[in-house]
Amino acid sequence: MSIDVVGAALSNAAVIAADHEHVFHSWSAQGSPVPLAFAGGEGVELWDHDGKRYLDFSSQLVNVTIGYQHPKVVEAIQRQAATLTTIAPAHANATRSLAAERIAGVAPDGFEKVFFTNGGADANENAMRMARLVTGRDKIVSHYRSYHGNTGAAVVATGDWRRVPNEFARGHVHAFGPYLYRSEFWATTPEQETERALHHLERVVQAEGPASIAAILLESVPGTAGVLVPPPGYLAGVRAIADRYGLLLILDEVMAGFGRTGAWFAFEHFAVRPDLITFAKGVNSGYVPVGGVIISDPVAAAFDDRIFPGGLTYSGHPLAAASIVATIDAMRDEGIVEHAASIGEDHLGPALRDLAARHALVGEVRGLGVFWAVELVEDPATRSPLPPAAMVRIKAGLLERGLLPFVQDNRIHVVPPAVIGAEDVARGVAIIDEVLTEAE
Ligand code: PLP
């Protein structure tokens, strides 16, 4: 079958059929066609080939922070494409330098160097490699409830997939992070959860032997695992443990970074300073694939006289670099990070808490900025998760009404583009309200 990708007469059915013929999809069995096809988007909306419009409460995979087709970013990519579309990482390139300068400009003081990758997983791969080379140690400690990417070491660091057989799963250790709603530590207050999770983490470090550990790798706010906003004092306590035992602290800001929580970096909410920061997604809203590691000065200096053996053909690709410069400029000029904070505090958070107050199905609502999870339970007393079949029906109900959700396990993650306005927040939450009423 051949389709004209820019043709006006395409239907959803034709596009889905063509996709099914030759595209091998991520995270899927290949037997059935994918359910949705999208033709275009603008701002916080997408539309399909049959003319149906969707309000996006997913930001795709939580990356489209500035919304679809931001004209300044589209234009910057077009301008760069007309000038130079590719250049090897070994050469200097003005657009790449500007992108690194913009990223260092929003990072904390003392983070001057940026290593570019193609996405978030390889950002974490390279951060772990840097930590191992600098410390001369092997192990990486991360949380069971985490997602760090789907390549070699990143998938091993990912706690969510520890149960999947993996021949590379060596040199990685996991600990339970804080999650008060389902506390592993019999905690009933955030303070207890912090204290006990830190005690547990320190015992894991001691038991593994600090001299064998290179780094602790954590998402500042674990995202895919449930938008698990850490309780007060947890991340600062992790920093103290890292310092006590001479370990590096890598904070994975791939999903939470670049505005999603209403700050440039999520760790800014928790007064903690990492040694390495990994990023991707929001840095350019996914307009061109890119990610990277922001490196603190002492770690960067450790490579002054030694080779860093990591490298990727497309590291610092000019189209990605141009999109980063334009995205960060647009976010600054338009106050998008500040908007994410206020829309979360004044509209999204209150509307979701109101849902929780009115629906017994809602066990907990948690989040910051435009980064929220609504956790659904069968029974609020036992907190037993809403079963998968019910979640499938809820997802279908949302899609039917034109809301594109990010549904994960027993949760609806409410993660719209940060440019969403109050009216669209109200419109999307009203759809969730309706679907929950129907489910009850
Ligand atoms: N780290 C975190 C926190 C993520 O959420 C993700 C992707 O969702 C990744 C890493 C992996 O990023 P990528 O899919 O770009 O490799």
Q: Mind listing the pLDDT tens digit for each residue in 342-396?
A: 999 999 999 999 999 999 999 999 999 999 999 999 999 999 999 999 999 999 9
Ligand 1 pocket member 367 (CB < 6 A): no
State which amino acid sits at residue 389: A
In angstroms, the CA 280 to CA 257 distance is: 8
pLDDT confidence of residue 8: 56
Nearest Cα to 177, choosing from 222, 232, 233?
A: 222
In angstroms, the CA 220 to CA 233 distance is: 12
Residues in CB range of 367: below 8 A, 6 or more apart:
227, 229, 344, 348, 349, 352, 373, 414
pTM over 0.80: yes
Integer-rounded Cα Rg, in Å, for the chain is: 22
In angstroms, the CA 163 to CA 159 distance is: 9
pLDDT in tens, 407-418: 999 999 999 999
Average the pLDDT over 272-289 and give the result: 98
Query: Angle formed by the axes of helices 94-106 and 318-333, to 10°?
Result: 40
Q: Three-class SS of residue 365?
A: strand
Give percent helix, percent strand, percent coil of the chain, each to the nearest 5.
Answer: 40, 15, 40
> Do 128 and 148 contact (CB within 8 A), yes or no?
no
Question: What is the whole-number distance in angstroms between the Cα of residue 34 and the centre of ligand 1?
Answer: 22
pLDDT above 50: residue 172:
yes
pLDDT in tens, 15-39: 999 999 999 999 899 999 999 999 9
Using CA positions, which residue lies closest to atom 13 of ligand 1?
Answer: 120
- Which token pair is 225? 């695992």
Ligand 1 pocket member 233 (CB < 6 A): no
Beta bridge partners of 40: 47
CA distances from 19 to 11, 138, 271 (A): 12, 42, 46
State which amino acid sits at residue 398: L
In angstroms, the CA 324 to CA 290 distance is: 9
pLDDT above 70: residue 3:
no
Ligand 1 pocket member 148 (CB < 6 A): yes
Max CA distance (Å), the chain: 64
**Which ligand 1 atom is at minimum distance from the Cα of 118?**
15
> Do 439 and 394 contact (CB within 8 A), yes or no?
yes
128, 142, 148, best to mutate for ligand 1 pocket (most atoms within 8 Å of CB): 148
Average the pLDDT over 281-289 and give the result: 98
- Which token pair is 377? 């339970």
Ligand 1 pocket member 282 (CB < 6 A): no
Structure-model confidence comparison of residues 153 and 427, the more confident one: 427
Q: What is the ipTM of this complex?
A: 0.99
Ligand 1 pocket member 120 (CB < 6 A): yes
pLDDT above 70: residue 251:
yes
Question: What is the whole-number distance in angstroms between the Cα of residue 61 and the centre of ligand 1?
Answer: 9
pLDDT above 90: residue 160:
no
What rounded mean pLDDT belongs to the chain?
95
pLDDT above 80: residue 55:
yes
**Which ligand 1 atom is at minimum distance from the Cα of 281?**
15
